[in-house]
């Protein structure tokens, strides 16, 4: 890791309403309204861990995750968001040895 990236790990929802097909990761600079949303296919994620890069050094971010079920886009059912977790990236040029940011599961996927 470096000062412009964080490793994120999350749990599956406590109760699933079918096979999870996608995960959405939303993050924003704390206190700002602009949100970046990244949707990932569940079958392409190893151990529910991803690295979020291209962040600004020494900046605090709020991050949350959402799961979805459904075979096709028109039948996708997005569940509840996890609670927000926050993390501050390191100072510019410093090597980051911070632990992984862990996001706790939402209680269930909405139907």
HEC readout, the chain = CCCCCEEEEECCCCECCCCEEEEEEEEEECCCCCCEEEEEEHHHCCCCEEEECCCCCCCEEEEEEEEEECCCHHHCEEEEECCCEEEECCCCCCCCCCCCEEECCCCECCC
pTM for the model = 0.82
Over 60: is that where the pLDDT of 97 sits?
A: no
Q: Are strands 6-10 and 49-52 parallel, antiparallel or unpaired?
A: antiparallel
> 67: which 2 tokens?
């799961």
d(CA 69, CA 22): 7
Q: What's residue 111's pLDDT?
A: 46
Q: Name the range with the highest mean pLDDT among 15-19, 80-84, 93-97.
A: 80-84
The whole-chain average pLDDT of the chain stands at 84
Over 60: is that where the pLDDT of 109 sits?
A: no
Over the stretch 40-82, which tens digit does the pLDDT of each residue have?
A: 999 998 899 999 999 998 899 999 999 999 877 678 899 999 9
Q: What's residue 99's pLDDT?
A: 53
Residue with tokens 């999870």, as numbered in its chain: 20
Q: Name the range with the highest mean pLDDT among 4-18, 21-35, 88-102.
A: 21-35
Q: What's residue 76's pLDDT?
A: 87
Q: What's residue 46's pLDDT?
A: 83
């Amino acid at each position: 890791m470096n000062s412009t990236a964080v490793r994120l790990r999350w749990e599956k929802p406590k109760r699933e309403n079918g096979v999870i097909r996608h995960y959405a990761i939303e993050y924003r600079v704390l206190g700002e309204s602009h949100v970046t949303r990244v949707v990932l296919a569940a079958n392409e994620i190893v151990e529910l861990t991803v690295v979020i890069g291209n962040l600004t050094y020494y900046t605090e971010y709020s991050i949350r995750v959402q799961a979805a079920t459904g075979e096709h886009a028109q039948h996708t059912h997005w569940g509840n968001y996890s609670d927000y977790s926050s993390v501050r990236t390191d100072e510019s040029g410093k090597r980051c040895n911070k632990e992984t940011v862990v996001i706790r599961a939402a209680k269930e996927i909405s139907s």
